[in-house]
Amino acid sequence: MSAEATSPGARSRRRGRTSIDLRRLGRAALLGPASRDRLPDAIGHVADAHRAHHPDADLLVLGKAYVLAEMSHRGQFRKSGEPYITHPLAVTLILAELGAETTTLTASLLHDTVEDTDVTLDQVRAEFGDEVCYLVDGVTKLEKVDYGAAAEPETFRKMLVATGNDVRVMSIKLADRLHNMRTLGVMRPEKQARIAKVTHDVLIPLAERLGVQALKTELEDLVFAILQPEEYERTRAVIADRATTGPSLDTIAEDVRRTLREADISAEVVIRPRHFVSVHRARLKRGEMRGTDFGRLLVLVGEDADCYAVLGELHTCFTPVISEFKDFIAAPKYNLYQSLHTAVAGLDGAVVEVLIRTHQMHRVAEAGVVALGNPYTPVDGAEPADGERADPTRPGWLSRLLAWQESATDPDTFWTTLRADLAQDREISVFPADGGMLGLPAGATCVDAAYAQYGDGAHGCIGARVNGRLATLSTVLADGDTVQLLLAQGPVQAPGDSGGPGPSPEWLDHARTPAARIAIAGWLAANPESLKVPESEPRAPGAVTAGRRGVANVVVDVPEDATVRLAGCCTPVPPDDVTGFLVRGGAVTVHRAACSAVGRMAALGRSPVAVSWGDEAECRVTLYAESFGRPRLLADLTEAIATAGAAIVSANVEPPSEQRVRHTYTLQLPDAAGLAGLMRAMRDVPGVFDVRRAQHEPAS
């Protein structure tokens, strides 16, 4: 932004070659407007680029903004020695060539005035309106990143907050960084490396998220040249000595044009050379480079249907490489990108990659959100609900980013999470069973889907169905999966309190999204007892509590320091006839009198201990439900359990065997008297043919 503004007396010696454009812009900036009835000379090229995309645009406001910016920055110079006005002019030209609308260009011209000059936001609002003022204020809040490594986390947190749900602020920031990277040669090498590193880690992934490929690819090459100078020079040499083995792209492009003409398909076929980073990656992947490896063919058509017509002709007349085919028209990427990708081989075996898209798709592929014009213009005059701005890149993406940065109170946690999130270069789409769509990074699990759909409500998630089949929360989701998330009934509270279960520490191992990880970590930090293994409390003679708080009391005639627990094999509840046995370690295990384990204990010669129930009515019980498999069975069962007033502590569903499914539930009941009614309610669920208490042979 304005880090390079200096006074004339502090003008730095030029260390890099100044581009011709900058010299011309510098002279024009000093000359100012040629007359009162036309645009200043210096902004003429911006106006030409803008009119190419918006023929009916009102250019007077651009001239007015330029005059204010030039007067405000007069006397300021960049470290390259150019008048400072050349910087906002260059940033605005970048956006104009991408097709940005007039409001964005106006704010771009003024983006440094409030920060570096005496111009105030009130003056900007009075002269150019609330929308321009909003954008200028947002860009002004994007503080400079060259404060040192320690300042980066908080700086980028402020950058996201300053975006204020308006992606145009971020677009101006990206164009600003691109021009600064173009002129970074005047900086010290260590400063160049630091700025390039931050650009690589955050701004390039943000450009990818916003779909601004034109900015992203140039930023990648500039960063590549600074951070990997030897590899950059090696790649430059490879491109200069372009391989001539096999047919050239020109030859194959002409073959494709002839094929499409014969099929009577109107299409434009152009060669898109790979940029430096792309050639570098291709060289590492393929080793020896052939002539067709240095670029791709781009086929531009008029309508969506024509894209598939071109694809059919290419796959008919050439040999397709099926593994390279991707349809991003039917399933657009998260950053608005749409195109058909394929690769075909000619008669001599040379393989060339082909991109097929409409002209509008191409514009969006290059400029992303910038190509949307003003993405927040109300449709048919309708105002957004609650004054909120919709996120045009994908519903909720920017909103989610802003939401989880608020949850990450620690700047280092925010910085680490942001970089991990932006490092995800592929996104999948999954579909909740109740409708809608969730965008998740590749490798996301059911845990991520739960927090993406329910937020903090996902703390009570107890399971999931993926494509109709029960799955663990650690299940990795694939693109196109249907997900039904199962939530416990009742509020989620700390361990030991009444309510549903909360997330376990193991969930952090399965979470891939920042929202899920921050929410889980926050809950675990607020409930540290969830990280501890429950310990037995000292027991008073006579009355002791078996297990954790909330399990019914039993009165046992044992020594004071003995541990008492209810047997998991039969989970006795009042008013069951019960008996107890001393086991290894001096603990007492309480069984139902009818439990098969009682006979085994007696056969081993162990004497029973007298046990009776205390006064507490609440109890915990394990039930088995046998059923035939059918859609929504698990949802219906959990609903029946919740209606009966029981809380699910844990649940397990075994894989179907001969169309039969076995469910195991451990439930917390407010009163043991309601157990019979609960079991009847579960049996009444269609498809369930048996419900019984846990009763099985213990392991030898």
Give the catalytic positions in this structure.
115-116
Beta-bridge mates of residue 664: 624, 652
Distances 632 to 437, 471, 627, 686 between C-alpha atoms, Å: 20, 14, 12, 10
Distances 128 to 142, 157, 259 between C-alpha atoms, Å: 21, 28, 53
Alpha helices, DSSP H only, in 566-671? 596-603, 633-643
**For 368, which DSSP code?**
G
Annotate 269-297 with b (16+ C-beta within 10 A) or e (fewer). beeeebbbbbbbebbeeeeebbbbbbbbb
The Cα diameter of the chain in Å comes to 111
User: DSSP string covering 511-522, please?
Assistant: --SHHHHHHHHH
Alpha helices, DSSP H only, in 241-396? 249-262, 276-286, 304-317, 359-367
Instruction: Measure the CA–CA gap between 365 and 615, rounded to whole angstroms.
Output: 70
Contact 606, 642 (CB under 8 A): no
Question: In terms of C-beta density within 10 A (0-12 exposed, 13-18 middle, 19 or more buried), how is residue 522 classed?
Answer: middle
Instruction: Measure the CA–CA gap between 653 and 651, rounded to whole angstroms.
Output: 7
> For 637, how many CA atoms within 13 A lie in the half-sphere containing its CB?
31
Instruction: Measure the CA–CA gap between 396 and 383, rounded to whole angstroms.
Output: 18
Q: Which two tokens stand for residue 507?
A: 């969930």
Residue 407 gets the label, from left (phi > 0), alpha (psi -120 to 50) or beta, of alpha
Instruction: Output the CA torsion sign for 26, 32, 38, 43.
Output: positive
Instruction: Measure the CA–CA gap between 126 and 27, rounded to whole angstroms.
Output: 30
- Counting every residue, how long is the chain? 700
**For 612, which DSSP code?**
E
**For 203, which DSSP code?**
I
Phi and psi of 681, rounded to 5°?
A: -65, -40
**Residues 6+ away with beta carbon under 8 Å from 529:** 494, 495, 496
CA dihedral 230, 235, 240, 244 (to 10 degrees): 140
Distances 179 to 93, 203, 210, 211, 413 between C-alpha atoms, Å: 10, 13, 18, 18, 30
Question: In terms of C-beta density within 10 A (0-12 exposed, 13-18 middle, 19 or more buried), how is residue 184 classed?
Answer: buried
Q: Which two tokens stand for residue 421?
A: 């999130």
Alpha helices, DSSP H only, in 32-187? 44-53, 60-73, 86-98, 102-109, 113-116, 121-128, 130-140, 152-163, 167-182
Instruction: Measure the CA–CA gap between 329 and 339, rounded to whole angstroms.
Output: 5
CA dihedral 254, 259, 264, 269 (to 10 degrees): -40
- Amino acid present at 489: Q
